[in-house]
């Protein structure tokens, strides 16, 4: 059904029928329930803490022996929070937190190049998002700290980290 068709269908419904359909969607689909829960009671700090603990657990697990170190876990949270409409400042905090935890993790281990490539992608995404939302003054210190650590630790793909910073200038 097209958007236009949906608008026409919804305009023909009575208020009680529309309410019944919304309640049905709310009960059937967890995504709809989560969206409305967020809209009417946005506990953003709780969401951020949940994301940070799961990202941290990905690199420094508490229940299993070996870390998985998947970038996709953080990316899933970031994408989901962007869809929900979480405050950009908090999304940027999660983006940088992911990089900071990954850097701490990389100091202790010998990791494949794919790890560093994905972190360079995350860095570029974070810098682009932060500069696009005019939050550079708030996060510049953390960005520079992450960048300096990648350069000092001789991470592969150092050039891509430098290219990502060119957006700032």
pLDDT digits (tens, 9 = 90+) for 40-94: 888 888 889 999 999 999 989 888 888 888 888 899 999 999 988 889 999 999 9
Query: What is the token pair recorded at 71?
Result: 């970038």
Whether residue 27 is found in the same domain as residue 69:
no
Which tens digit of pLDDT belongs to each residue from 121-142?
999 999 999 999 999 999 999 9
**In this structure, are residues 135 and 95 in contact, taking their beta carbons and an 8 Å threshold?**
no
Last residue of a domain, one of 41, 58, 73: 41
pLDDT tens per residue across span 6-48: 899 989 989 999 999 999 999 999 988 888 888 888 888 888 9
Q: Global pTM?
A: 0.83
| Least confident piece of the model among 94-98, 108-112, 113-117, 122-126 | 108-112
> Do residues 67 and 110 lie in contact, with contact meaning Cβ atoms separated by under 8 Å?
no
* 152 and 81 in a common domain: yes
The domain of 14 spans: 1-41
Residues 84 and 70 in one domain: yes
Count of structural domains within the chain: 2
The answer to whether 117 touches 156, Cβ cutoff 8 Å, is: yes
- DSSP, collapsed to helix, strand or coil, labels residue 62 as coil
Q: Are residues 72 and 153 in the same domain?
A: yes
Indicate whether 48 and 122 sit together in one domain: yes
* Residues 57 and 5 occupy one common structural domain: no
Q: Are residues 125 and 77 in the same domain?
A: yes
Within this chain, do residues 76 and 106 fall inside the same structural domain, yes or no? yes
Say if residue 3 is in the same domain as residue 84. no
Burial annotation 92-105 (CB, 10 A radius, 16+ → b, else e): bbbbbbbbebbbeb
Residues 110 and 49 in one domain: yes
């Amino acid at each position: 059904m097209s958007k236009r068709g949906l608008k026409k269908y919804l305009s023909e419904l009575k208020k009680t029928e529309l309410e019944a359909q919304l309640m049905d969607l709310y009960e059937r689909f967890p995504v709809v329930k989560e969206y409305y829960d967020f809209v009417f009671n946005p506990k953003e700090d709780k969401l951020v803490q949940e994301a940070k603990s799961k990202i941290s657990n990905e690199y420094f697990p508490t229940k299993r022996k070996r870390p998985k170190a998947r970038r996709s876990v953080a990316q899933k949270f970031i994408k989901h929070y962007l869809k929900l409409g979480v405050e950009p400042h908090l999304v940027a905090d999660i983006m940088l937190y992911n990089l900071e935890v990954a850097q701490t993790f990389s100091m202790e281990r010998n990791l494949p190049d794919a790890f560093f490539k994905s972190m360079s992608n995350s860095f570029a995404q974070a810098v682009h998002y932060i500069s696009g939302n005019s939050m550079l003054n708030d996060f510049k210190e953390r960005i520079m700290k992450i960048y300096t650590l990648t350069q000092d630790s001789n991470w592969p793909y150092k050039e891509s980290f430098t290219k990502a910073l060119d957006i700032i200038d």
